[in-house]
Amino acid sequence: MITPMRVFVLIFNARTENEGIHTVRVGDRNKILMFESEDDALRFALLLEAQDFPVPTVEALDAEEIKEFCESADYDWEIVPENSDLVIPPEINLEETDWQLDDREDVDKDTFHSNQAPQAQPELSDSELDSIRRKLEGLL
């Protein structure tokens, strides 16, 4: 028997009717980040919060369940390996997320709704990334 792979994803409005999973926008595609490490997911959530983003909840889920959802929603997914380079959220986020729109529309609440950044994040130089890493490590 194959043991399910547990990953960590970011959920907004967890365990409510208006629950949404965090996605990033890459070109014209939505991508769900699946973190192998809960600590890495928590760091990413803190970076979002520092950008005045709504505070997400880190949830452990089965990777296959997320992949199936991605296939049904036509989303991409990426596994972020433990102890990999720090993943930094895009600097620009949507002003109004899909799940915020749902507050005004009567839609099927049994599906995940995305929170998207508009475009792929701009490329940062190695020195800029190193500077950001040092600042973040100083927070820990």
User: In order along the chain (140 residues), what is the average pLDDT of each group of 10 residues?
Assistant: 85 89 90 94 90 90 94 94 78 50 44 43 58 63
Specify the pLDDT at position 137. 63
Specify the pLDDT at position 25. 87
Specify the pLDDT at position 2. 67
Specify the pLDDT at position 106. 43
Specify the pLDDT at position 57. 94
Specify the pLDDT at position 114. 45
pTM, to two decimals: 0.64
Distances in Å between the Cα of 77 and the Cα atoms of 58, 70, 80 are: 16, 7, 10
**For 52, left (φ over 0), alpha (ψ -120 to 50), or beta?**
left
By the 8 A CB rule, do 58 and 80 touch? no
